[in-house]
Amino acid sequence: MADATTEPLLSPTIDKDGAPFWEYAAQGELRIQACTACGELRFPPRPCCPHCQSFDGEWRRMSGRGRIWSYVRPHPPLLPAYAEQAPYNAIIVELADAPRIRLVGNLVAAPDAPLDSVDPERLRIGAKVQVAFTDVGGIAMPRWLLERP
């Protein structure tokens, strides 16, 4: 992606509550935090369940499938690392096995493809997608692929 002469893409801030999400991502797994007291899923990760206030939780493996719930195509001014890949997309994915959970990412043609690898005309609300992970600055980032390319 970025070399020594370009600015790197933004990286997530990994805190104690969210660290397991990124550890599972590094193993190629999409997992979401769940309350072991009431069973509700929660994202973003946090120490206390917003439904029952329990501090007990676990990480449940998801299928990695979903649908595009919304998207944007950012326009200038953009950060330099992103301007190089414009026009690209940022999508919100509603998970198939957890419809109240939505994740933000990019729709790409292949896990290691640049952010502008999907023709903007192919973006559609409701399009089915599958998660894929790629290394970006030492972090396994979830990216999204169309189920039917």
Based on DSSP, count helices (H) and strands (E) in the chain, helices before strands: 2, 8
Q: State pLDDT tens for residues 56-82.
A: 999 999 999 999 999 999 988 788 888
Q: What confidence score (pLDDT) does residue 71 get?
A: 98
Nearest-5° angle of CA 117, CA 45, CA 79? 35
Which pLDDT tens digits describe the chain residue by residue (149 residues)?
A: 444 446 788 889 999 999 999 999 999 999 999 999 999 999 999 999 999 999 999 999 999 999 999 999 998 878 888 888 888 999 999 999 999 999 999 999 999 999 999 999 999 999 999 999 999 989 999 999 999 86
CA distances to 37, 72, 77, 146 from 25, rounded to whole Å, are 25, 24, 31, 19
Per DSSP, the three-state class of 25 is: helix
Do 67 and 55 meet the contact criterion of CB atoms below 8 Å apart? no
